[in-house]
């Protein structure tokens, strides 16, 4: 199969870009079926070492690819993502395909409908390869909380890929799919993108429909894309963004030309650097790489502006009050009555509820359900949840004030690079603090992205976060694209993982 020039090898899809793949399929340089087989082959050979996929829909992918080839042969326009193999975090419901959210309590749930985001990908010609591993109900920062086992980082199998969309980030980094979708409630797109060295975008709240996305915290959940490059992420967001009447929080603003914006440069753009995002607890290699990226923006013609976000110090506490309260409400529906797991041992209705939820949920969802139930109790609501809502307003006001002085903000995505498995699992507070750089944009509902801006001495990626005003995705892509054009971090690819041999010591 002939592959685009941005592929590493003519026999390999490693590093191939979405736009070039789609162009090749439309121009009939190669078939969508051949492209699909190339990615399915990589998944079959390599994913046993990574654990990125929970389900591979090989036959469904082949049928979709064959249909695209037939339509192209007939002269039809199959869409901007013609034949591009993508994969979905297992939080997006898919008609006729099991959707579990990484949880035992949803084992066997086969939805009768399709999420808006995944349907829009299909309508644009993408080929869905399967469902990707994740922290259970998107609750985690390392993808160690999945009921089906952890995901490993393609850059180092001893390290986590970040979370909760760890499977989505790892699959793109390892070229198991050309792009993927994830969700970001407090950093679950950007943090794994940073730790896996790919591009992840959390759009403005309401920019991408949440219809068909299993809810964790409804006022904080943001679906968004992963790509190897800024252009890849922009191409996916142009397809999945836009008004959806089935989502009451969907915004009616027109979808921007994100790929075009990514090529516009940053001359005259005001880049804000918030002091609160640099300080104690940050790995020196992370700070050094991000400071160097800020200097690169200056050399590219941007104006660097110091700004302050004074309520950032309250963001983690505010986030974990609001998200646990909303999780307690949203996860109440999983009771063994209508769908999903049901305990076989119940002798009464009370036992059915208690045993089903006790056996079906893992430790992290249980912890958050209990915390959320506590802060919503009568007598505690005003002291905790209501105070958190007031603090959330202050955080959003900080961003509004900062964006009166600048067009985008630039910060680290994570204070540390990918950490080793088990390093934080015994201390939930330390795990929660892994999101210290990413939760505030979710509280404010503003768009934010992460892309690679360097590597540590241990060859682990460093993430650069760009934050824009509400509905300011074009400014975000303008900054992200300009930085990527002046550097070559995005061209680095991890080596294919060594797959363990059955029975080896």
Strands (E), 399-477: 408-412, 448-455, 461-467
Closest-CA residue to 258 (of 188, 298, 203, 304): 203
Q: Which two tokens stand for residue 59?
A: 């036959």
Is 188 a residue of the active site?
Answer: yes
CB neighbourhood size of 10 (10 A): 10
**Residue/partner pairs of 323-326 with CB below 8 Å, 24 or more apart:** 323/185, 323/186, 323/216, 323/217, 323/220, 323/368, 323/372, 324/368, 324/369, 324/371, 324/372, 324/375, 325/372, 325/375, 325/376, 325/385, 325/388, 326/215, 326/216, 326/217, 326/218, 326/219, 326/220, 326/372
**Catalytic residue from among 31, 89, 131, 424:** 89
Is 147 catalytic? The answer is no
- Overall residue count recorded for the chain in this entry: 505
**328 near 377, Cβ under 8 Å?**
no
Catalytic residue among 115, 164, 209, 250: 164
Decide if 89 is catalytic. Answer: yes
C-alpha–C-alpha distance, residues 446 and 444, integer Å: 6
Catalytic residue among 118, 146, 188, 209: 188
Whole-angstrom Cα distance, residue 165 to residue 105?
19
CB-CB neighbours of 55 under 10 Å:
18
Phi-psi label, residue 459: left if phi above 0, alpha if psi -120 to 50, beta otherwise: left
Alpha helices, DSSP H only, in 105-158?
Answer: 116-123
Pairing of strands 303-307, 461-467: unpaired
DSSP 8-class letter at 105? G
Tell me how far apart the alpha carbons of residues 163 and 362 are, in angstroms, rounded to a whole number.
16
DSSP 271: E
Which residues does the annotation mark as catalytic? 89, 164, 188
């Amino acid at each position: 199969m002939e592959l685009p020039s941005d592929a590493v090898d003519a026999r390999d899809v490693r590093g191939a870009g979405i736009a070039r793949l789609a162009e090749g399929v439309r121009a009939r340089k190669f078939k969508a079926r051949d492209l699909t087989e190339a990615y399915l082959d990589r998944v079959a050979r390599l994913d046993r070492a990574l654990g990125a996929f929970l389900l591979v829909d090989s036959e469904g992918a082949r049928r979709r690819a064959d249909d695209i080839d037939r339509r192209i042969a007939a002269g039809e326009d199959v869409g901007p993502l013609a034949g591009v193999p993508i994969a979905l975090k297992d939080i997006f419901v898919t008609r006729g395909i099991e959707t579990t959210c990484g949880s035992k309590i949803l084992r066997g749930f086969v939805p009768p409908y399709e999420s808006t985001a995944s349907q829009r990908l299909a309508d644009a010609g993408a080929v869905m390869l399967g469902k990707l591993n994740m922290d259970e109900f998107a609750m985690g920062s390392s993808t160690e909380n999945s009921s089906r086992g952890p995901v490993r980082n393609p850059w180092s199998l001893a390290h986590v890929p970040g979370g909760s969309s760890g499977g989505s980030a790892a699959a793109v980094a390892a070229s198991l799919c050309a792009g993927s979708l994830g969700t970001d409630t407090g950093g679950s797109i950007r943090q794994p993108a940073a730790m896996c060295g790919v591009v992840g975008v959390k759009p403005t709240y309401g920019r991408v429909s949440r219809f068909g996305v299993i809810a964790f915290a409804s006022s904080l959940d943001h679906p968004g894309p992963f790509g190897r490059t800024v252009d890849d992420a922009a191409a996916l967001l142009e397809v999945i963004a836009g008004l959806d009447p089935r989502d009451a929080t969907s915004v009616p603003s027109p979808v921007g030309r994100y790929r075009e914006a990514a090529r516009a440069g940053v001359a005259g753009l005001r880049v804000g650097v918030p002091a609160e995002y640099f300080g104690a607890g940050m790995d020196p290699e992370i700070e050094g790489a991000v400071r160097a990226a800020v200097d690169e923006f200056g050399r590219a013609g941007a104006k660097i502006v110091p700004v302050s976000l004074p309520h950032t110090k309250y963001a983690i506490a505010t986030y974990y009050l609001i998200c646990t309260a909303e999780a307690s409400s949203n996860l109440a529906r999983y009771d063994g009555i209508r769908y999903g797991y049901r305990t076989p041992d119940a002798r009464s209705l009370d036992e059915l509820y208690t045993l089903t939820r006790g056996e079906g949920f893992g430790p992290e969802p249980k912890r958050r359900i209990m915390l959320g139930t506590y802060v919503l109790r009568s007598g505690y609501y005003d002291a905790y949840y209501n105070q958190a809502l007031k603090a959330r307003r202050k955080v959003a006001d900080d961003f509004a004030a900062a964006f009166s002085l600048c067009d985008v903000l630039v910060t680290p995505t994570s204070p540390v690079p990918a950490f080793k498995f088990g390093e934080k699992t015994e201390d939930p507070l330390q795990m929660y603090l892994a999101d210290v750089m990413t939760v505030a944009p979710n509280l404010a509902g503003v768009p934010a992205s992460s892309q690679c801006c360097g590597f540590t001495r241990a060859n682990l990626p460093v993430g650069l976060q760009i934050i824009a005003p509400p509905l300011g995705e074009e400014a975000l892509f303008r900054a992200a694209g300009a930085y990527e054009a002046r550097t070559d971090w995005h061209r680095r690819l991890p080596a294919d993982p060594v797959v363990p041999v059955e029975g080896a010591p």
